[in-house]
Amino acid sequence: MLLPTILSLTCVTAMHAQAAPSVTPTISAPGTVPSLSTAPIAGEFSYSLTGSESYVTGYQGTSNSGSSTNISGQATYVSNSETHPLSLIYSGGYFFGNGGDLNSSSYQNVGVSQLLISRRWRLGIADTITFLPSSPLYGVSGVPFSGDIGTTPITTGGIPTQSILTNYGQQVSNTVSGSVSRDITGKTFVEGFGSYTVQRFLQTGLNNNSVGASASLGHHFSARDTVSGSYTYAKYSFSTPVSGFNNFAFSSNGVSASYSHAFNRKLSLQLSAGPQWISSNQPALIPDRVLFASAVSIGYQGERTRTTISYNRSPNIGSGVLLGALSDNINVTAQRNFSRNWTGGITANYGRASGLAAVPGENIQTKSFYGGVQATRRLGENFSAFGSYSAATQSSSGQAIARNAFDGTAHIVTVGLTFAPRSMRFGRP
């Protein structure tokens, strides 16, 4: 079960590569920090291996149909400590393109988070590294072949903030982040956050760096209601020369108000909104302007069903395609255990991105949608079989300078077999 580790990473990386108010779904994860032994290596380790076959048409900008043979694996470790929990997650694999101009590529995702918790202080640090063949789409792996549709990606903190789909173009990114919070009184608290992201493209794309920081003051009015105010800062810079300029960069400064409410133990709501002031070192490319950023998230966690519905509007780096973008995303992610043997997952995201730059070729708008459904059948103690269908489509009002934006529609049908033995526990139960 990967959810506890993903949530531990999400709590530290929720503002990855974004300047807008971050709203991360509040979903409890029993077992993430259980009341067990605090021995140095005490914890739980689990892994799975998956083999699958896919029928593909239009994926990554290919014009023909083809097939793909896929091998992947996932592994997680969650420590038992209540005061310094450690979480590790790996998801990766390789897909072999067969015909239809489909490229072959590996994909790798690694994440680690360490929390230090005392009576009043909470400190966190996290590092995530990803290597993907194109922009991330589904689940923990970021690709539609791995059988993890309906899970939360570790590279975006749960809510997508960049919505531009790309053709084949391998990319690597690394985000290091840290957080600190302290209870001033029994109900009032302060929080701080910082992150640094590096994104590089092996083929076509705008290499970039991002720095983000925030400071918040909040108050618990009741066990169910929390209000906070935040200041956020982000700087986005490009190491690739663009439009005749070297070292182009833009930044955003913003303030926001946030409200969270727990309707009950299963259903929660989070709201955040505020203005963002945009400026750049080349006003001819991105002139000074004021944007409105907002985020809404509804999370439900029942015994059999986990669902998150979210909306996010925020400026961002532009996915390596544009010189910055203002993106709107509506996302739905859900998993359900129908019975002991049957589970299902769904992911859907509608995105719209408008270029922040005022020059031809950059001031374009893209509209995208990707979605997938998956059904999984348990086969005995350690095996399961799954089938999934995924689709993605995108259109734009013009051609970006980077010329790697996906334009068209893709369909992917996948069947696979997963081996997942029982998790191994270390230390005393």
pLDDT, tens only, 42-79 = 789 999 999 999 998 887 666 678 888 999 999 999 99
Quick one: pLDDT at residue 150? 59
40 contacts: CB under 8 Å, gap ≥ 6 = none
Average pLDDT of the segment spanning 172-195: 94
For residue 42, what are the CA distances in angstroms to 83, 124, 423?
A: 13, 19, 13
All residues at 6 or more sequence positions from 380 whose CB lies less than 8 Å from its CB, including other chains: none
For the segment 219-231, the average pLDDT, to the nearest whole number, is 96
Residue 137 has pLDDT above 90, yes or no: no
**pLDDT score at 152:** 61
- Rounded Cα distance between 352 and 367, Å, is 5
Q: What is the pLDDT of residue 398?
A: 66
Once rounded to an integer, what is the mean pLDDT over residues 317-340? 91
Angle formed at CA 26 by CA 20 and CA 28, multiple of 5 degrees: 155
Residues 6+ apart with CB under 8 A from 276: 19, 20, 232, 252, 253, 254, 290, 291, 292, 293, 314, 315
Between CA 92 and CA 376 the distance in angstroms is 20
Q: What pLDDT shows up at residue 323? A: 86
Beta-carbon contacts of residue 119 (< 8 Å; ≥ 6 apart): 183
What's the rounded Cα separation, in Å, for the pair 208 and 196? 11
Residue 286 clears pLDDT 80, i.e. is over it: yes
Would you say residue 428 has pLDDT above 90? no
Q: Average pLDDT for residues 140-151, to the nearest whole number?
A: 71
* Low-confidence winner among 276-280, 318-322, 341-345, 399-403 (lowest mean pLDDT): 399-403
SS3 content of the chain, % helix, strand, coil (to 5): 5, 60, 40
CATH of the domain at 213: 2.40.160
For the segment 349-402, what is each residue's pLDDT rounded down to a tens digit?
A: 999 999 898 887 778 889 999 999 999 999 989 999 999 999 999 988 866 554
Range of the domain at 57: 3-426
pLDDT grade, residue 417 (50/70/90)? Answer: very high
Tens of pLDDT along 226-256? 999 999 999 999 987 777 778 899 999 999 9
> Token match 């995702």: residue?
109
Report how many domains make up the chain. Answer: 1
| Greater pLDDT, 5 or 103 | 103
Q: What is the largest CA-CA distance in the chain?
A: 63
**Torsion sign across C-alpha atoms 332, 333, 338, 341:** positive
Q: What is the pTM of this model?
A: 0.82
Confidence of residue 100 (pLDDT cuts 50, 70, 90): low
Range 185-188, long-range pairs (CB < 8 A, 24+ positions)? 187/219, 187/220, 187/221, 188/217, 188/218, 188/219, 188/220
Q: What average pLDDT does the chain have?
A: 83
Using alpha carbons, select from 389, 378, 379, 383 the residue that is nearest to residue 415.
389
Backbone angles phi, psi at 385, to 5 degrees: -120, 150
Nearest-angstrom CA–CA distance, 310 and 18: 16
> Is residue 22 very low, low, confident or very high in pLDDT (cuts 50, 70, 90)?
very low
Using a pLDDT cut of 70, give the percent of the chain over it: 83
* pLDDT above 90 (res 94): yes
Per residue in 302-313, pLDDT (tens digit) is: 999 999 999 999
pLDDT at position 429 over 60? no
